[in-house]
Amino acid sequence: MRRALYAAGFAALLMTGAASAQTLNVATAGDQNMVDYIKDYLGPLFEKQHPGVKVVAVGTGPGDGGSQKIFEKLEAQSKAGAPADFDVVVIHQKAAGTMVQSNLLKKYRDDLPTGKLVTRDTATNSLGTDVSGYVMPMFHSQTAIAYNPDLIKDPPNSYAELREWVKKNPKQFGYNGIKGGMSGVAFVTGWVAAFGGDAAKLEKGPYDAAQKATWEKALADLKEFNRNVVITPGNAGTLDMLNRGEIAMGPVWVDMFYTWKAEGKLPPNMRLKLVSPGMPGQPMYYAIPAKTAHEKLAAEFVALATSPDVQAEGIVKRFNWYPGIDAKNLEGKLDQAVWNQLFADIPPDALSANGKPFPISPYFNDILEAYEKKVAN
């Protein structure tokens, strides 16, 4: 049913784009909430500032598959020498790299008034591909360690301290391995980055298959570490076990953690720790197709979407996501209660220092394969 809705919306978008020169077409990969955000909040805000302009939003589906559909459409139009049907696209990391390499995006961020507000590496490096200037982060999802302060007064500050803490507190740490959701995958890739050698090479490449040999001790230590932890059934399972007091600590997605707290599914005193040298997260990007007919209007749309006011109200307050721009720019834009909720445990400096990207795709795949062979067997 959802696929049918996406298809219908996709067709409607193309028809609308052909009919009006003052229509700004925004194609969004991701879940329906991403489309609703453009349609119900950002679009009307932009239209108010630009009388006569109509913003039309359509979703192409969740996950990398949604970004792939956008890529395929832009690629087909480029090969045909036709203008793009989309003026702004919201895409995942993998697709962004592919689109830059295929010359399907404009290099626009350096001229954007909000471009200088971005500080995280994901604005320049997307799973190993240099995307400098071509993308503007919309938001960042981030993993961190959730813990119960009634049980842990002094939480570990690093992976190394966590490893020692688990030895002394068996079965009090839980995570979902690599098959129960991405928070577990994030924890494992963070572990290899912390103990496996050249972390920067994992994030930026170049790929070298021989790198795998340097992970042997890190993976052996992770196997030993797992003897003293609880493998939870998933992201939600980790939060469930924290809520029931069955574990005292575990890696989670930050936005999911705060949503559960807001819904009363977690005690209000639960806290987060972003341990060093860092844990992975992932952004969604705003990008502008190379052959859009509305380049100036599209850039103005992205500038509004990444302004501190919109990032505060639209991204942080509505979704509990971390902003695409440096969080320091939102100070004073949020009331103290919201600011404290999102940044009290992980302040902007810690987020900038320890919020890491996932490894580039070939290393990412190697880590998961090595985990299956050397840790989970």
Write the pLDDT tens digit of every residue in 104-122.
Answer: 999 999 999 999 999 888 8
**Does 273 lie in the same domain as 159?**
yes
Residue 271 has pLDDT above 80, yes or no: yes
**Does 313 lie in the same domain as 274?**
no
Residue 266 lies in a domain: yes
Q: For the domain that residue 361 is a member of, what is the CATH number?
A: 3.40.190.10
Please state, in angstroms and rounded to a whole number, the distance separating the CA atoms of residues 332 and 335. Answer: 7
Residue 2 lies in a domain: no
Residue 255 has pLDDT above 90, yes or no: no
Place of tokens 């834009």: 333
**pLDDT tens readout for residues 216-236:** 999 999 999 999 999 999 888
Q: Identify the pLDDT of residue 347.
A: 87
Residue 162 lies in a domain: yes
| Paired strand residues for 125 | 130
Q: pTM of the predicted model, to two decimals?
A: 0.76
Residue type, 56: V
Residue 7 lies in a domain: no
The whole-number average pLDDT for the span 256-285 is 93
Residue 369 has pLDDT above 70, yes or no: yes
144/328: higher pLDDT:
144
The whole-number average pLDDT for the span 187-208 is 93
- Indicate the average pLDDT of the chain: 90
Q: How confident is the model at residue 349 (pLDDT cuts 50, 70, 90)?
A: confident
**Does 74 lie in the same domain as 117?**
yes
Q: How many domains does the chain have?
A: 2
Residue 14 lies in a domain: no
Closest CA to 284 of 59, 25, 30, 6: 30
**Does 209 lie in the same domain as 73?**
no
Q: How confident is the model at residue 336 (pLDDT cuts 50, 70, 90)?
A: confident
**Does 311 lie in the same domain as 184?**
no
Residue 168 lies in a domain: yes
**Does 114 lie in the same domain as 58?**
yes
Residue 16 has pLDDT above 70, yes or no: no
**Does 130 lie in the same domain as 173?**
no
**Does 361 lie in the same domain as 324?**
no
**Does 156 lie in the same domain as 266?**
yes
**Does 230 lie in the same domain as 115?**
no
Q: Identify the pLDDT of residue 213.
A: 93
Q: Identify the pLDDT of residue 128.
A: 84
- The angle at the Cα of 123, spanning 117 to 128, to the nearest 5 degrees, equals 160
Residue 13 has pLDDT above 60, yes or no: no
**Does 151 lie in the same domain as 276?**
yes
Q: How confident is the model at residue 297 (pLDDT cuts 50, 70, 90)?
A: very high
Q: Identify the pLDDT of residue 340.
A: 79
| Residue 147 structure tokens | 């813990």
Residue 313 class from Cβ within 10 Å (0-12 exposed, 13-18 middle, 19+ buried)?
middle
Range of the domain at 245: 141-281+356-375
The whole-number average pLDDT for the span 356-367 is 90
**Does 114 lie in the same domain as 159?**
no
The three-state (H, E, C) secondary structure of the chain, written as one string: CHHHHHHHHHHHHHHHHHHCCCEEEEEEECCHHHHHHHHHHHHHHHHHHCCCCEEEEEEEECHHHHHHHHHHHHHHHHHHCCCCCCCEEEECHHHHHHHHHCCCECCCHHHCCCHHHCCCHHHCEECCEECCCCCEEEEEEEEEEEECCCCCCCCCCEHHHHHHHHHHCCCCEEECCCCCCHHHHHHHHHHHHHHCCCHHHHHHCCCCHHHHHHHHHHHHHHHHHHCCCEECCCHHHHHHHHHCCCCCEEEEEHHHHHHHHHCCCCCCCCEEECCECCEEEEEEEEECECCCCCHHHHHHHHHHHCCHHHHHHHHHHHHCCEECCCHHHHCCCCCHHHHHHHHCCCCHHHHHHHEEECCCHHHHHHHHHHHHHHCCC
Q: Identify the pLDDT of residue 328.
A: 87
Q: How confident is the model at residue 10 (pLDDT cuts 50, 70, 90)?
A: very low
